[in-house]
Amino acid sequence: MRRLRAWLIRVGGLFNKGLRDREFSAEMDSHLQFHIDDNLRAGMSPAQARREAMMKLGGLEQTKEAYRDRASLPILETFFQDLRFAVRMLHKNPGVTFVVVLTLALGVGANTAIFGLVNGVLLQRLPVPAPEQIVALVIQSSGSPLGALGFSYPQFAEFRQQTAPFCEVFGQALGRVNLVADGHTDVLAVSGVSSNYFSALGVQPGLGRLILPGEGERPGEPAILVLGYSYWQKRFGGDPGIIGKQVRVDGKPVTIVGVVPKEFRGQFSTFEMDAYLPLSSVYPGQSPNGFWSSRDLRLMLSLGRLKPGVTYPQAQSGFDVVSHRLAAQYPVTDKDVSVHVMDERLSRPIPYANNAFIMFSGLFLILAALVLLLACTNIANILMARASVRQREMAIRAALGGARARLVRQMLTETTLTALLGGISGVLLGAWLSRLIGAIHLSGFPLQLGFGFDWRVFAYALATVFFTALFAGLSPALRATRADVNTVLHQGGRTDASGAARHKVRGDLMAAQVAGSLMLLVVAGLFVRSLRAVEHMDLGFDPDQLLNVALDPSINNYDETQTKEFYRALEAKISALPGVQSASLASAVPIGYGRSKDSVYVEGGHVAPGQLAPGVFFNSVDPHYFETLRIPLLLGRAFADADSETSPRVAIINETMGKHFWPSENPIGKRFSITSDSGPFVEVVGVARDGKYRTLSEDSLPYFYLPLAQNFTPARTLQIRSSLPPHSLVPEIQGEILALDSNAPIVEIQTMRESLSGALGYFLFRLGASLAAAMGLLGLLLAVVGVYGVVSYAATQRTQELGIRMALGASPRQILALLLKQGVRLVAAGLLFGLAGAWALTRAMSFMLFGVSPSDPVTYIAAGALLSGITLLACWLPARRAMRVDPIVALRYE
Amino acid sequence: MSDNAGDKKDVWQGTLALMVLKTLQAMGPLHGYGVARRIEQTSGDLLAVNYGTLYPALLKLEQEGYISSEWGVSDKNRKAKYYKLTRAGRKQLSKEEHEWEQTTAILARFLAPGEGRS
């Protein structure tokens, strides 16, 4: 305590130096006077008395120095001196300061932005009490990739019950629903949550109440809804009177009972849920093959909250016991099923434990680090150039008694100050950049790329700043202060004549820059080429000039007959509009969210007992579908109006399904069932070309189509192929729909291209490509500035030498070759190392790329050519300037 | 510790604070010169060091809150800075006195038989 008090007073002592010094002088004066008085009294002469008193007191200056040191903190005091000096130096060279700060701001900004995103998406825990207890429960069946399936509800309930002593299991099924309120329809991303979801997470209501334990896990309970905060703000203007309001969800009345708090966005860090419903409100029906009883419908994503003190291994062995028990009990469905207990953050963005996101983050952090390295190299170059200018100053200061450590410290203070300035600008820039990325809006998907601006981001930014200060500042500082005063002062103002070593360092830095920049360019190039491949890939249908109008008459309580009549009338009217080439209805859109899957039982091919029939995705479409989407039929026919409810049931399959079920046979005329081994069967009447159905990166997938007339679904998408720009048709189409029903049951209108830009489509490819391209360009810019700086500095340094050479008869061409030779050698070395580095870096990238190999030669060659072209230009410009210098001027230089 | 000068200095610095506190307790408020003279007189020649070294020690004690200072006027009408013990200083003094007595008692017992032998 006493020490702390003394220390604080000493810190305070930094600020009242003048007063303190005056007071101490007065005290010394009074001390001497007392002593002289005494001596006089003892009989000395005045001169003798004074002399004796002075001697007894000791060296006055030493005393003052000792007193001063004690009065304040010498370390801090010199630090403040350094700081004042540093501020003066920065102020004196505003140009240099600006360039350094700007360079660093770019480097730190890129890092902060990327790290901020990674932090928000991957590192920050859920905003709930004791988040470290939350684990992801990732279920795996042997043979299927980790996380590729969820829990069936019975399975979920059994795990929850049997692991209750050490872990509270809770979960949700993701879904999309229509919500109609005040005559307006929205498509919502919702969580159908288990009754203990909010209680286990520990989330408190933001308004009203949440879903309560024991609520909503029996079909038939009254339907309720809890709103997500953002959706509540956006859709209802944050109206607190919303509690108790009746809305319609998928056509059924639902009561809003509460709103979650602002900070809770659902369990996913990449998107915010619009609403939460109890499972019974999402799955109101009870059927033997339905959600509540089927062990084969694996829709639940589960988390758990470990009881305090339970470790991961303990929890894991507990889950293993239950897994084995269930496998023995339900051999058909639960055989080989295991549950992995893992940190919830490792299972992001969704509990797919394929580490894709972690790899992505890692790659982009490496890219950002490369950018920072390039920035640092530039700064080191600038500082080194300045260090040689200041070598004289340093040598003189050293000659006057400045200790080397003290001089290094002072130069590092300068660098750190600059780095801090750059760092602050960088953090601001980074915050702005990631706000920009975070503001990306996707229609139909509540994307939420939060910028987790917390201590981690600050710590990261601070670490980058100090890394820069040390990396860029230490070497120049050491060099500048190593100088021998004699040598420096004898050089007559010419700096660093013997600077071969320094040139070497600068050359190495330049080569490193070229290498780093090439790595960035290659990664950017691969991403961009991958995006181009995706955008131009064959989807199996023609996505241009196509408008999708999602409709759901069940919103307006239509029964089946009314629905059919509505669609029939609508399709007829739309087809007749000018500019419409063809229009068709389908229950799902390719690369969209709606999808159906059913088991396929091939006629005659019995499913062995203990085996499950394979599940295949399908779509229900009308006769014009293949014409509208331009999906070629390879065999057989399209659906016709004659395929009605009463006619024999038919199906069209894709090539892959044909090869899978009837290899080396013509599938036309074959029959299969989606209900059971014994039918009813549908007959294959056509084979369509393969396409993309669920995601862009999927491998070819078995798929089939049923006629809408034989497989009724109320929610359909009207797809319109037009010779006009699709958007220009929207008002007319809306008019036609309104004419049929003034409560237009429109869910969403967008072009197929817009739909493809969504989260399942191009979005991630575009995000990756733009981020990588931005960093590639930044790297290129930094490298060019760096190379230009090094070469032009070297040229200036050699002005005198070049003058002599010219005076002795060297031709301009020889001078140019002399200067270029060094640059070319360094660029070539940099390119070589860069190629090796890029090759190593891109090994892990193959799963992020589409249609392009990580070793794609075109990318490597293009990046190398671009970089060498630009850097050689950056070498050539200063070399040419040096070549044109008048020998007389050059010899007089300095 | 190896040379004599170092020895003397260490003793001086380690015990100076205690001597200052004791002097102020015995004499009441006193200026720096007075404290120096008093310590010199009491200790004899043993601690005849520059008076100047006293002042950083006084400052340290003041920073630690054991003494306080105030400008005043001496009986001969000279301005001087007077130091006096604070309550914390009195407590610290009795504590250090006690510790010091203990240390010397232990050392005395420790050294006694050795003296007899030599």
Reported ipTM:
0.81
Residue A156, phi-psi category: left (phi > 0), alpha (psi -120 to 50), beta (remainder)? alpha
Report whether pLDDT(A353) > 60: no
User: Per-residue pLDDT averaged across A789-802, rounded?
Assistant: 78
Give the confidence band of A160 by pLDDT, cuts at 50, 70, 90: very high
Residue located via tokens 């039982």: A601
Looking at residue A451, its pLDDT comes to 63
Cα gap A249→A555, rounded to integer Å? 8
Question: Chain A residue with minimal CA distance to B69?
Answer: A27
Report whether pLDDT(A386) > 90: no
Range of A169-173, A449-453, A604-608, A746-750 with top mean pLDDT: A169-173
Looking at residue A483, its pLDDT comes to 62
Q: Which amino acid is at B21?
A: L
Report whether pLDDT(A258) > 90: yes
Looking at residue B2, its pLDDT comes to 36
Looking at residue A883, its pLDDT comes to 76
Do A152 and A300 form a contact (C-beta atoms < 8 A)? yes
Report whether pLDDT(A594) > 70: no
Angle at A670 between CA A668 and CA A676, to 5 degrees: 145
* Tens-digit pLDDT profile for residues B16-36: 888 888 889 888 898 888 888
Gap from B44 CA to chain A (nearest CA, Å): 15
Looking at residue A70, its pLDDT comes to 79
Q: Per the CB < 8 Å rule, is A66 touching B60? A: no
Report whether pLDDT(B110) > 80: yes
Give the confidence band of B118 by pLDDT, cuts at 50, 70, 90: very low
* Tens-digit pLDDT profile for residues A96-144: 788 888 888 888 888 888 888 888 878 888 888 888 899 988 887 765 5
Of B50, B59, B78, the CB nearest to A71: B59
Query: What's chain A's Rg over C-alpha atoms?
Result: 38
Give the confidence band of A278 by pLDDT, cuts at 50, 70, 90: very high
Our separate counts of H helices and E strands in chain B read: 4, 3
Report whether pLDDT(A351) > 70: no
Chain A residues with CB-CB distance to B37 below 8 A: 38
Chain A residues with CB-CB distance to B50 below 8 A: 56-59, 63
* Tens-digit pLDDT profile for residues A662-710: 888 899 999 998 887 777 889 999 999 999 888 787 788 889 999 998 9
Q: When comparing pLDDT for A337 and A514, which is higher?
A: A514
3-state helix, strand, coil split of chain B in percent (to 5) is 70, 15, 15
**CA end-to-end span of chain B:** 24
Residue A893, phi-psi category: left (phi > 0), alpha (psi -120 to 50), beta (remainder)? beta
Chain B residues with CB-CB distance to A2 below 8 A: 64-66
Locate A590 and state its tokens: 């390719």
Q: Which amino acid is at B47?
A: L
- In this structure, of A452-461, A539-548, B40-49, the range with the lowest mean pLDDT score is B40-49
Give the confidence band of A609 by pLDDT, cuts at 50, 70, 90: low
A687 - beta bridge partners?
A635, A653
Looking at residue A355, its pLDDT comes to 66
* Nearest partner of A24 among B58, B35, B30, B19, judged by Cα: B58
Question: Chain B residue with minimal CA distance to A59?
Answer: B52
User: Per-residue pLDDT averaged across A582-587, rounded?
Assistant: 92
Q: In the predicted model, what is the mean pLDDT of chain A?
A: 83
Looking at residue A179, its pLDDT comes to 87
Of A5, A27, A69, the CB nearest to B81: A27
Q: When comparing pLDDT for A479 and A450, which is higher?
A: A479
User: Per-residue pLDDT averaged across B56-83, rounded?
Assistant: 86
Looking at residue A350, its pLDDT comes to 59
Looking at residue A528, its pLDDT comes to 92
Of A5, A6, A58, the CB nearest to B50: A58
Do A518 and A831 form a contact (C-beta atoms < 8 A)? yes
Q: When comparing pLDDT for A188 and A520, which is higher?
A: A520
How does A147-180 read in b/e, with b if 16+ C-beta sit within 10 Å? beebbbbbbbbbbbebbeebbbbbbbbbbbbbbb
Phi, then psi, of A265 in degrees rounded to 5 = -115, 15
Of A6, A60, A63, the CB nearest to B63: A6
Gap from B53 CA to chain A (nearest CA, Å): 6
Gap from B21 CA to chain A (nearest CA, Å): 16
Chain A residues with CB-CB distance to B31 below 8 A: 30-31, 34
Phi, then psi, of A698 in degrees rounded to 5 = -70, 155
CB burial class (10 A; 0-12, 13-18, 19+) of residue A520?
A: buried
- In this structure, of A99-103, A372-376, A740-744, the range with the lowest mean pLDDT score is A740-744
What is the percent of chain A where pLDDT is above 70? 92
- In this structure, of A273-287, A422-436, A446-460, A465-479, the range with the lowest mean pLDDT score is A446-460
DSSP-derived 3-state class of residue A343: strand
Looking at residue B3, its pLDDT comes to 37
Report whether pLDDT(A18) > 90: no
* Tens-digit pLDDT profile for residues A53-84: 888 887 777 778 878 887 777 777 777 877 88
* Tens-digit pLDDT profile for residues A828-872: 999 999 999 999 888 878 778 888 888 889 999 999 999 989 988
Cα gap A478→A418, rounded to integer Å? 18
Our separate counts of H helices and E strands in chain A read: 28, 23
Looking at residue A834, its pLDDT comes to 92
Give the confidence band of B116 by pLDDT, cuts at 50, 70, 90: very low
Report whether pLDDT(A650) > 50: yes
Task: List all residues 6 or more positions away from A731 whose beta carbon is below 8 Å from its beta carbon.
Answer: none
* Tens-digit pLDDT profile for residues A471-502: 777 777 777 676 666 666 665 444 444 455 56
Report whether pLDDT(A803) > 50: yes
Q: Which of A36, A70, A72, A73 to mutate to test the interface with B (most CBs of B within 10 A)?
A: A70
Q: What pTM did the predictor assign? A: 0.72
* Tens-digit pLDDT profile for residues A221-233: 888 999 999 899 9
Looking at residue B1, its pLDDT comes to 34
> H/E element holding B85?
strand B79-85
Cα gap A339→A159, rounded to integer Å? 10
Numbered residues of chain B with Cβ closer than 8 Å to any chain A Cβ: 31-34, 37, 50-53, 55-56, 59-60, 63-66, 74, 76, 78-81
Q: When comparing pLDDT for B110 and A201, which is higher?
A: A201
DSSP-derived 3-state class of residue A831: helix
> What's the 3-state SS for A102-162?
HHHHHHHHHHHHHHHHHHHHHHCCCCCCCHHHEEEEEEEECCCCCCCCCEEHHHHHHHHHH
* Tens-digit pLDDT profile for residues A708-728: 989 888 889 999 999 988 888
Q: When comparing pLDDT for B118 and A506, which is higher?
A: A506
Phi, then psi, of A707 in degrees rounded to 5 = -70, 135
> H/E element holding B71?
strand B67-73
Q: Which amino acid is at A141?
A: S
Of A3, A23, A57, the CB nearest to B52: A57
